[in-house]
Amino acid sequence: MKYRKLGTSGLDVSEISLGSWLTYGVGIERDLARACVDRAFDLGINFIDTANVYGRGAAETVLGEILAGRPRHSYVLATKVFFPMSETDSGLSRAQILKQIDASLTRLKLDYVDLYQCHRYDPQVPLEETMAALSEVVRQGKARYIGFSEWKPEQIAAAFAVPGVERFVSSQPQYSLLYRRIEAETIPLSESHGVSQIVWSPLAQGVLSGKYLPGARLPEATRAANEIMGNAMQNWLKPEILEKVQRLRPLAAEAACTMSQFALAWVLRQPNVASAIVGASRPEQLDENAAASDIVVPPELFSRAEAIVAS
């Protein structure tokens, strides 16, 4: 496993990180979640991403139990705040940020998180209030650094224009061979401010693994076959997209790697990407994805892949 510096922070994070969205504490039993986390550590993954809203606190609670007893310096833990935790608790006001960081730390059984992220932008709260509250969290020692997820370029620029506050070190956007929106503005702007990308859905929710075949029945026990998650994947499951993905198979073979590894290596080709978040419902799933950190793919193969998906 290779590691990269997270923006201007003092954190070195593994190129492949473990996410817990819609899994730990909800869809995945505790023993299996523990096995996945343990396997991640065995593979050199030191970066774990979660959020207060995942399972309405369940993911943080399970991770708190799993991580208890591990040396605190041996891992980097990120969580998030914004989405509703109840009918009255949501957003990025000062009151909510201070309330939710304490609740997250209680569930995680920790004194601090390494990275505290705004899960989305909150247009209902003055940006100055949000930035001041996040700075208060850092200065109280409850988070080492701050980040954001899915903010627009103008929102990012506005945050850096607020005087006297802590600076963001990370951005968490969607990014994959099938979804490249951040390349035009977000990455150049982030680079100019010392912000790294921690990307989610680098495999386009599993579509880039090649396991979904055009015209074929969805494999059982996959995300696409799940009634809730499958509905959120409909754009990726269009026949024309699945056909293009299958045309990537010879390129992965030429690079002597799996399709998932090819897709992850493509994301990691971007220097501004510090880490790619992957999920796992079984420990063995991590073996393949973690190995992508060591794979070197000729740039010419990536260019051919880009041309295929853009056609």
Average pLDDT of the segment spanning 245-254: 98
Q: What's the mean per-residue pLDDT of the chain?
A: 93
**pLDDT for the residue numbered 223:** 59
**pLDDT for the residue numbered 281:** 84
Judge whether residue 122 has pLDDT over 50. Answer: yes
Average pLDDT of the segment spanning 268-297: 95
* Residues annotated catalytic, as ranges: 54
For the record, the structure tokens of 187 come out as 């990455």
3-state secondary structure string, the chain? CCEEECCCCCCEEECEEEECCCCECCCECHHHHHHHHHHHHHCCCCEEECCCCCCCCHHHHHHHHHHCCCCHHHCEEEEEECCCCCCCCCCCCHHHHHHHHHHHHHHHCCCCEEEEEECCCCCCCCHHHHHHHHHHHHHCCCEEEEEECCCCHHHHHHHHCCCCCCCEEEECCECECCECHHHCCHHHHHHHCCCEEEEECCCCCCHHHCCCCCCCCCCCCCCCCCHHHHHCCCCCCCHHHHHHHHCCHHHHHHCCCCHHHHHHHHHHCCCCEEEEEECCCCHHHHHHHHHHHHCCCCHHHHHHHHHHHHC
Q: Give tens-digit pLDDT for 171-210.
A: 999 999 999 999 999 999 999 999 999 999 999 999 999 9
Note the pTM of the prediction, 2 decimals.
0.93
Question: In the CATH scheme, what is the homologous superfamily, with its name and number, of domain 3-206+261-296?
Answer: NADP-dependent oxidoreductase domain (3.20.20.100)
Q: Give tens-digit pLDDT for 70-92.
A: 999 999 999 999 999 999 999 99
Average pLDDT of the segment spanning 218-226: 58
Q: Which residue has the higher pLDDT, 189 or 26?
A: 189
